[in-house]
A and B are shown apart, each in its own frame.
Chain A
Amino acid sequence: MHSVTAIVVAHDGARWLKETLAAVLRQTRPLDRVVGVDNGSRDGSGKLLTEAFGTGNVLTLPRSTGFGEAVHEVLRRLPPAPGQEWVWLLHDDCAPDANALQALLWAAEQDPKAAILGPKLRDWLDRRVLLEMGVTVSRSGRRDTGLEPREYDQGQHDGIADVLSVSTAGMLIRRDVWDELNGLDTALPLFRDDLDLCWRARTAGHRVLNVSDAVAWHAEAAARRRRRIATSDEHPRRLGRRNGLFVLMANLPFGAFVRSVLRNVVASTLRALLFLLAKQPANALDELAALGSVIGRPLRLRRARKARRKGRKQSWPAIRRKLTPPGAALRRLADMVQGFLAGAGPVDSAGRHHAAADRAQEDDGDELLTDSGGVQRVFGSPVVMLGLILAAITLAAERTLLSGLLSGGHLGGGALVPVTGGASDLWRLYVEDHHGTGLGSQTWAPPYVAVLAGLSAVALGKVWLAVGVVLLGCVPLAGISAYAATKRMIPYTPARVWLAVTYALLPVATGAVAGGRLGTAIVIVLLPVYAALATRVIAGSRRAAWGFGLLLTVGTAFVPLVYVLVAILGGLAAVSFGGIRRGVRRSLVIGLGTPVVLLFPWLVQVAREPGRILLESGLHDERLTGLRLGAESLLMLSPGGPGVPPVWATAGLGAVALAALLLRRHQMIVAIGWGVMLFGLLVAIVVSRIDDTAWPGVPLAFAATGLLVAAGHQAHRIAEFRAGGGLRRLGAMLIVVVAFATPLAAATLWVTKGADGPLRGDLSDPVPVLAALQSAPGEGTLLLRSRDERVGYTLLRGRGPLIGESDLEPPREASARLATAVAGLASGRGSTYVQTLASFGVRFVTVPGSVDPALRRALDSQPALIRVSLSETGGLWRVAGQVTVPPPPATAGALHRGWLWAQGTLLVLVLVLASPGARTREPEGDYADVPVEEGPRGRRRAKEDRVPA
């Protein structure tokens, strides 16, 4: 015969207690005895207990009493009952189903060895969500339910299961076993005491069962921090972690214990580092403190281990099978990284009873969440389709470039030197104090070299791959970035698609590809991101400000003009919005200050020669810009130069944007868009008129962005017009046709004309193989090319120039001497010019392409030059006699070193500050003028509201 005593322990749980007590009293198997314990509640819990159980059945204990202590206290006072006595432990926030006890007892009868039984726990609020059905622990002391986060109970795990442990919420335990094991360990006032008890019970040869027919709803109030914990001052996360470790280490046999110590020291350090990266220093501290407090008190641990010694080793094989399998840790790490990348920050469920973390954020691909098959899901998404279409257009347009590239040629031409070398070469170029290239230089390498080196490192160290993806892929990348960035600005998906396609196929984009303008290509991809981040910066988001600053640094490093444009617009924004929102000004300072700090010495150099602000990275050549660019070209967003479509190609965009001005709703956005357009246009005019070698691509991209936002933002009105029927419907159709005419025309023209302008994919290495092979290290090759009746030259050292080397300044005196020597050499007047070249370490003179007869005669007339080869593809001459490689000057690079370290440190700091973390989500997007998609925000609210306050 069974006798069941229910013990309900309450502590500030009036919120749930009423329902719990009702559930306890409503059991189909009536309870023999009920006892309430009030651990010094201040919210009337004691009164509720008294009302339900009667005065005599309620025990009042001090506030600091733990759960185990309270149960001990009750059982100490409670005389044993006749027959097989059971104790049913209940939390104040745990309401059992009416037939829970009946089911538990039935299961107990089936298995005489069963000493501890637990119900299936479901969530208090969302009553179908499974919380746990037996709990196990991983070797790192992490509690594990084996369930998916927020898994619904559909009976999929049902049955009576032999488990490692069950929760104390609803735990039914035989009283003799309790007494035999000495109950819950009072050293663990909260968390993992259940695990410890069950583990000991199993060690003693009893069974622990989870009975799914018995159901209880649990609010996990302490673990979810819905109430203050009085037994300890510590954060539940640290407490949970510490107790987990403690229980694990106390119960493991010796060999496993040693391994566990080592494993946890390493793992905790790693986790702490990850937390630091995710800007969760509190988590990191908890992690380390928990470990420290377990290992740091060896005596306590030893005492606990001593108490649990009996039978530990014998039962270990059986228990080991119940622990979380080792692979789970890796899987969790993968999940964590994934979550981190998705912006959620590491999901830490160490202090929670369940990983049902409230992932309060909408995923970018909400539209992906349909229940169709994977392929359909991927291809049905607008962003994937957009990317694929643009990629197809790009592939068709760049066919000759790509075929040249695939047949082993080098990418180069226009502003891009033939791309050679690897990421390590770029790194060396960036960090070295003295550049051995050419005539040697002490200039600090421009910072975009570091960006490119980083990109190349990602691209497996292949610079050509990184440059190829960024430059040749800038059209699809810009499209995707524009589509993603307008998510918050333009809710109407067809408009976003149109905007993205039009933006990606702007004359600036095709011109940047044809001209080999890596800088503009990168800025085109980043510009929509700037816009998206800027709206969040204006909303006051600090993290977005750091991210904005970082990306602006990247853009500025390639095209300094970006900074000027952004700074002016940012200043205007500060004037307009600064008064409205607190912290906007500071966010703006962060966003605009980061590039200045990160690029400081280089910016100083640029500021010394203001003309450089107008230029971008790479080579500067008048032939790459539309000399005397017509006013109509500028007005139609065409920057001139190779690769741009005819002026009329963008007419549709202008017409639609003008039409948008006629709509009166949200006129402010349209006005702002047009304002940006006019501003960009003005800058473009200034740029193209000041410097012949400057290309107004970036300001025109700014202008186009403004125009596109103005037009795209009003596009949802098309749907209204279409619904209006009649003439309005016709007008809507006309506008759609006009709008899509621009990207269609641009794509068609681009594909038919081909993407290659000066940019080619089939260039050969500028240094002939023979010269590269026969040069001693450091010896140079002088490259001559007569063009436009003048002889251009450059000095190469064993390899082609790297990207960025053209921006280095050689010493003035040496370059003057070299210029004289080259002029003399090309004149064929004899004398000692070759000796001068030899003193610069020149071993070879090469003239690529078909050699100009005059130049050939001049070189052939030099007794000290030996012709090695001469053909249609070029000529090569070798310097006879002694060649001395000038020794690199002794450099004192302390300043440079220091700056590089400082820059690296600052960069890491900004990266950490800009990267998403999990601790706080900032309110986003609710700035005054741009209406925000209401859906996600509403959803988030709902989730927050669900938590009972």
Chain B
Amino acid sequence: MRRLIENRFGLLALVLVALGALYGVAYVSRPAPVAQARPQAVKAPVESVTAVCPAPSGSRVSVVTPADPERPQTPGSATLSAIKAPGKNGGGKDDVIDRVGLLWQRDVAAGGGPLVVDADGSMAAGLESAQTARETSGTQRGLAGVRCVEPGAESWFVGPGPAAAEMTLYLANPDSAPANVSFMVYSGEGPVLSERGNGVVVKPGEHRVIRLRDLAPSPLIMALQVSTSSGRVAAAVKAVLGEGRGVDWLPVAAAPATRVVVPGVPGTAGQRELYVAAPGERDTVVRIRAVLEDGSYALKNKETLEVPAGSASSLDLSTGIGGQPAALVLESDVPIVAGLKITGTGARQDVAFTAGAASVDLGSVVADGRAQGKQTSWLVLSAPFAAATVEVRLLPAKGEAPAPIEVTLPAARTKELRLTPPKGSKGGFSVLVRPKPGSGPVYGGRVLDEAAKDGQMVTAQPLAMARIWALVPPTVDSPGVVLP
């Protein structure tokens, strides 16, 4: 020991040994790389829902909330009432619905403004409502249905322009704060700057009906963006093509994205016209792919569609997908919005519209299904990217619910399903579509047609994700969030 200390290298050796030991300790105690357990969002049932049926006068309003054994049953009810300012009694009698799992329908008399569906508790989760009008004559001849939408900050509509049809915008504000709404119309020639200003304030409880011809008289095709700088508004657009040419509502289109799926094209014959708009500042070429019953491919001579910046374009796809149930997958380098016009057959035509839609991962509900007389309801389901299994359940207005059907969708295939209620049930029914766990994204639409003598009447709506579940993100109280 003494010699070690007296040696010139003794201390160095001691230190090196100690350093080596510390290195060893540090090396051994180094924790193994652990995969960071990502916090998972938790599914929770939606607790309150507000929806606005834009113009239900003379229409049948359907309201349904699917029952779900997974969900704890809590008291809850939905109220159907005329739109009114908060704190005021709108007069008239409100309809209260509190039966979960059963379709509630009522024919609303002509006249009157929008109806607001307010639901909470177990009636709220998955509440779906729709209005469907059926006229057999006049300019309004045809089937015209639309989902009652929740008020929001931004909505897109894609369809014919005010020069091709009488387009009417319905705005309603059921909230307690005023909504500062502005519009933007993208026509075939570029964005339309209105001389009359493109903004309007909708006060709480108010509703407005705006003729788009006043905003932009010339476009033959258009994409309309309704957005609010503050507050929320429920927007809907009705297109009346004219006597004998059909009528329907434009469904809300998915917000601009570089990949848009337009689902729910029925297998009936008739014209199909695609509308695409690129609201950004770059021209683009949209690649079109059809997902059909026998596979997915680009359509001959209709592989691409050029859309100039800030403009809308249309493309007739009747020869490509006419007569086959289909969904369209549009891809582009810049965000686009898309819609599709479906024209029925016959001497007097009727039209229906579908539009870009999100996949129905957590399920979807269609409120209004009919299978009476000459009316037929179709469900067009597509799995454009990966195979999926979907459970389809009918919810009748009365009587026992039939057993659910399971539909298997191979990847890149579309299937059309004719919805038939069990024998004996009367009245309409609702449809609950739920992809099975492990399925790829599923897109779909419901088409309702009636083979009238003077021409087929038709209406369609893409499946929207039901507001059954909300994803509750994991939260953390951290003062550090003040930092970017």
Interface pair A685/B25, CB less than 8 Å apart = yes
B405 at the interface (CB under 8 A from A): no
Q: Is the CB of B475 within 8 A of A790?
A: yes
Q: Which of A619, A819, A856, A880 contacts B475 (CB 8 A)?
A: A819
Contact of B152 among A785, A786, A822, A861 (CB under 8 A): A861
Asked if B15 and A658 make an inter-chain contact with CB atoms under 8 angstroms apart, the answer reads yes
Cβ–Cβ contact B8 & A789, under 8 A? no
Chain B residues contacting A766 (CB-CB under 8 Å) are: 482
Decide yes or no whether B19 CB sits under 8 A from chain A. yes
Chain A at the B interface: mostly helix, strand, loop or mixed? mixed
Name the residue on B nearest A634 (C-beta): B26
Interface residues of A in 528-558 (CB under 8 A from B): none
Interface pair B477/A829, CB less than 8 Å apart: no
The residue among B8, B33, B39, B481 with the most chain A CB atoms within 10 A of its own CB is B481
**Residue on A nearest B470 in the bound complex, by CB:** A829
Asked whether, in the complex, the Cβ of B476 is within 8 Å of the Cβ of A790, the reply is: yes
Chain A residues near B472: list those with CB within 8 A: 823-824, 826-827, 829
**In the bound complex, CA of A881 to CA of B25 (Å):** 61
A607-637 toward B: CB 8 Å interface, digit per residue (1/0)? 0000000000001010000001111101100
Q: Contact check: which of A794, A827, A864 meets B481 at CB < 8 Å? A: A794
B30 touches A662 (CB 8 A): no
Which of A418, A818, A830 contacts B47, CB < 8 Å? A830
Contact, CB under 8 Å: B481 / A685: no
List residues 1-45 of chain B with CB under 8 A from any CB of chain A: 8-9, 11-12, 15-16, 18-19, 22-27, 29-31, 33, 38-39, 41, 44-45
Cβ of A362 under 8 Å from chain B: no
Using Cβ atoms and an 8 Å threshold, which residues of chain A touch B437?
Answer: none
Q: Once bound together, how far apart are the Cα atoms of A793 and B481, in whole Å?
A: 6
Query: Is B329 an interface residue when CB atoms closer than 8 A count as contact?
Result: no
Interface string of B40-66 (1 = CB under 8 A from A): 010011111110000000000000000
**Residue in B33, B45, B480 whose CB lies within 8 Å of A621:** B480
| Cross-chain contact A863 with B481 (CB below 8 angstroms) | no
Query: Is B331 an interface position by the 8 A CB rule?
Result: no
Given contacts A792-B475, A801-B482, A827-B471, contact A863 B39 (CB under 8 A): no
A869 within 8 Å of B (CB atoms): yes
Complex interface: stretch among B229-237, B340-348, B375-383, B410-418: B229-237
Q: Contacts A791-B475, A827-B472 given; indicate if A661 touches B12 (C-beta within 8 A).
A: yes
- Residue A413 interfacial (CB < 8 Å): yes
Given contacts A628-B33, A658-B15, A667-B11, A418 and B38 within 8 Å (CB-CB) = no
Chain A residues near B175: list those with CB within 8 A.
863, 866, 880
Find out whether the CB atom of B176 lies under 8 angstroms from the CB atom of A784: no
Within 8 A of A (CB), among B71-130: 120, 124
Is the Cβ of B484 less than 8 Å from the Cβ of A848? yes
The answer to whether B482 and A418 have CB atoms under 8 Å apart is yes
Chain A CB within 8 A of B228 CB: yes
Q: Is A47 an interface residue (CB 8 A)?
A: no
B15, B23, B479: the one contacting A794 at CB < 8 Å is: B479
A701 to B447, CA, bound (A): 73
The answer to whether A830 and B124 touch across the interface, beta carbons within 8 angstroms, is: yes
The residues of B that contact A789 with a CB separation of less than 8 Å are 38-39, 41, 473-474
Query: Is B150 close to A, CB under 8 A?
Result: yes
* Residue of B23, B177, B473 contacting most chain A CB atoms (<10 Å): B473
Contact A880 B177 (CB under 8 A): yes
Is B299 an interface residue, CB under 8 A from the partner? no
Chain B interface size band reads 35 or more
Q: A18 within 8 Å of B by Cβ?
A: no
Is A805's CB within 8 Å of the partner chain B?
Answer: yes
Stretch of A196-204, A427-435, A674-682, A732-740 lying at the B interface: A674-682
- B13 smallest CB distance to A (angstroms): 9
Q: Judging by beta carbons under 8 Å apart, are B30 and A867 in contact? A: no
- Pick from A621, A682, A792: contact of B22, CB under 8 Å: A682
Q: Is the CB of B480 within 8 A of A619?
A: yes
What is the bound-complex CA distance between A104 and B47, given in angstroms? Answer: 112
- When the two chains form their complex, are residues B49 and A830 in contact, meaning their CB atoms are under 8 A apart? yes
Question: For the complex, is B362 an interface residue (Cβ under 8 Å from A)?
Answer: no
Known contacts being A417-B479, A417-B482, A867-B228, is A685 close to B29, with CB within 8 Å? yes
Contacts of A629 on B, CB cut-off 8 Å?
Answer: 30
With the chains together, A795 CA to B242 CA distance in Å? 56
Does A412 count as interface, using CB distance less than 8 angstroms?
yes
Give the docked Cα–Cα distance between A880 and B173 (Å): 14
- Contact A678 B230, beta carbon cutoff 8 Å: no
Contacting pair A864 B479 (CB below 8 A): no
Q: For residue B19, which residues in chain A have a CB less than 8 angstroms away from its CB? A: 635, 678
Closest A residue to B24 using CB positions? A631
Residues of A within 8 A of B120 (CB): 830-831
Nearest CB on B from A704, distance (A)? 14
The digit string for A762-799, where 1 denotes a CB below 8 A from any CB of B, is 01001000000000000000011111111111101000
List the B side residues contacting A827 at CB < 8 Å. 44, 470-473
The CA-CA distance from A827 to B474 in the complex, in Å, is 10
Q: Which residues of chain B from 436 to 484 have a CB within 8 Å of any chain A CB?
A: 470-484
Does B401 count as interface, using CB distance less than 8 angstroms? no
Determine whether B164 belongs to the interface, using a CB cutoff of 8 Å to chain A. no
Instruction: Give Cα A631 to B22, complex, Å.
Output: 8
A870 contact set on B, CB distance < 8 A: 153
Interface presence of A860 (CB below 8 A): yes
Q: How distant is the Cα of A831 from the Cα of B122 in the complex, in angstroms?
A: 11
Query: Nearest 5 pairs between A and B by C-beta?
Result: A830-B48, A631-B26, A829-B470, A831-B47, A806-B479
Given contacts A689-B30, A863-B174, 15 further A-B contacts (CB under 8 A): A630-B26, A635-B26, A674-B15, A689-B31, A760-B484, A763-B484, A788-B39, A792-B475, A819-B475, A829-B48, A854-B473, A857-B152, A863-B151, A864-B176, A868-B230
List residues of chain B with CB under 8 Å of any chain A CB.
Answer: 8-9, 11-12, 15-16, 18-19, 22-27, 29-31, 33, 38-39, 41, 44-50, 120, 124, 150-153, 174-177, 228-232, 470-484
Sample (21) of A-B pairs whose CB atoms are under 8 Å apart: A619-B480, A658-B12, A678-B15, A689-B26, A689-B29, A763-B484, A784-B481, A790-B476, A792-B481, A794-B477, A824-B472, A830-B46, A830-B47, A830-B49, A831-B48, A857-B152, A863-B50, A863-B176, A864-B176, A866-B175, A880-B176
